[in-house]
Amino acid sequence: MLEIRHLKTLHALREADSLVEAADRLHLTQSALSHQFKELEERMGMPLFVRKTKPVRFTSAGLRLLQLADATLPLLRGAERDIARLAGGTAGRLHMAIECHSCFQWLMPTIDQFRDAWPEVELDLASGFSFAPLPALARGDLDLVVTSDPLELAGITYVPLFTYEAMLAVANQHRLASKPYIVPEDLLSETLITYPVERDRLDIFTRFLEPADIEPAQVRTSELTVMMMQLVASGRGVCGMPHWALHEYSSRGYVKAKRLGEKGLFATLYAGIRADMLDAPYMRDFLLTAKDTSFSTLDGVSAVR
C-alpha cells in the first residue's frame, strides 16, 4: 500500500509547513502533490493532515507515517550511498570555498554529515574572501564553490541550492522600525554596515541602492555577524543580510528585520561545480545533504522555482 514517494511527500510537508513549499521542494506542481495526498488518504481510509492549518497539523495516522518516514528515509539514503561505493567512486577529493560570510550556519552540519558518510573522500574547506574562488574552480584548484554571484565560466555548472530573502536589520527604536518595508531613499542618512567584500557582490547595492542612484551617508564593514548585530542594536547603523542569518537575532528581539522594497529582495545561493565532477556519487550526495540541511535548519529559505 505504501511507497517511498508517499513517505517523502509527508516528510516534505512537515519540513516545508505548506503544500506550496513542499511541492517546490519535490519538484511537483501543487495539484500533483494534492492528488498524491488524496490517493494516499484513500488507500489509508482516513485523512493524514488537517487542511488549511498553519503550521500544518497532522492526524494520528499522519504522525504514525511520519515516524515510519523518519526511520526509513535515512536507511534508504544510507543504502544508496553503499550501492554507490560498490559501484566505485568511493574515494576522491572535495575541496571547496565559500563566498558567503553567513553560510557556516548550515554548511558545517552538512560537512559533518558528509565526513561520516564518505570518510574516504579528502575534504577541505577554505574561505573565498582572500582570493578569487571561481577562477580557482575553473583551474581545478577547487571542486565546489558556494556563491550567490555565478560567473559564466567554461566547464562550470551552477546547481541552485535555495532561494532566500535579503533583509535590513535596524534597531528596535530606529525610525525605520515601524515602516512596513524599506525604500532606497530611507538609507540616504544611514550608516550601512556590510561584510568586507566588493560592492558588486552585495545585493543591497547592486539590486537595491544603485538602480535608484542612492548612496548611504556612510559605509562601514565588519567580518562577524554578531558584531554587526551589536552595532545595529546600539543604533550605530543598519545592516543588510540574508533572512536566515538575521532570524536568530530578530526572533529574540535584539533587532528588527525589515523587507527591502514592497515585494522584497530575493536571491539564490548556488554550488558552482566543474562539469567533470557532477556525476561523482559523493558530489551528488553532498548536494542532497546540503539542500536537506539548509531546509531543515534555516528560516525563510525556499526551493528554487
Q: How many Cβ atoms are within 10 Å of 149's Cβ, its own excluded?
A: 17
Q: Give me the pLDDT at residue 213, please.
A: 96
Q: Give me the pLDDT at residue 87, please.
A: 63
Q: For residues 259 and 170, state if they share a domain.
A: yes
CA–CA separation, 279 vs 223, rounded Å?
35
CA–CA separation, 15 vs 297, rounded Å?
10
Q: Give me the pLDDT at residue 142, please.
A: 92
Whether this model's pTM surpasses 0.75: no
**Residue at which a domain ends, from 43, 61, 85:** 85
For residue 227, give its domain range: 163-265
Q: For residues 224 and 247, state if they share a domain.
A: yes
Q: For residues 273 and 289, state if they share a domain.
A: yes
Q: Give me the pLDDT at residue 130, please.
A: 62
Q: Give me the pLDDT at residue 77, please.
A: 82
Residue numbers in the chain where pLDDT is lower than 70: 84-91, 127-130, 305
**What does the H/E/C string look like for the chain?**
CCCHHHHHHHHHHHHHCCHHHHHHHCCCCHHHHHHHHHHHHHHHCCCCEECCCCCCEECHHHHHHHHHHHHHHHHHHHHHHHHHHHCCCCCEEEEEEECCCCCHHHHHHHHHHHHHHCCCEEEEEEECCCCCHHHHHHHCCCCEEEECCCCCCCCEEEEEEEEEEEEEEECCCCCCCCCCCECHHHHCCCEEEECCCCHHHCHHHHHHHHHHCCCCCEEEECCCHHHHHHHHHCCCCEEEEEHHHHHHHHCCCCCEEEEECCCCEEEEEEEEEEHHHCCCHHHHHHHHHHHHHHHHHCCCEECCC
Q: For residues 273 and 157, state if they share a domain.
A: yes
**Residue at which a domain ends, from 69, 85, 101:** 85
Angle between helices 30-44 and 4-16 (to 10 degrees): 120
Q: For residues 126 and 75, state if they share a domain.
A: no
Q: For residues 228 and 146, state if they share a domain.
A: no
190-199 residue pLDDT tens: 999 998 888 8
**Residue at which a domain ends, from 85, 100, 128:** 85
Residues 202/101, Cβ–Cβ less than 8 Å: no
Q: For residues 167 and 256, state if they share a domain.
A: yes
Q: Give me the pLDDT at residue 90, please.
A: 63
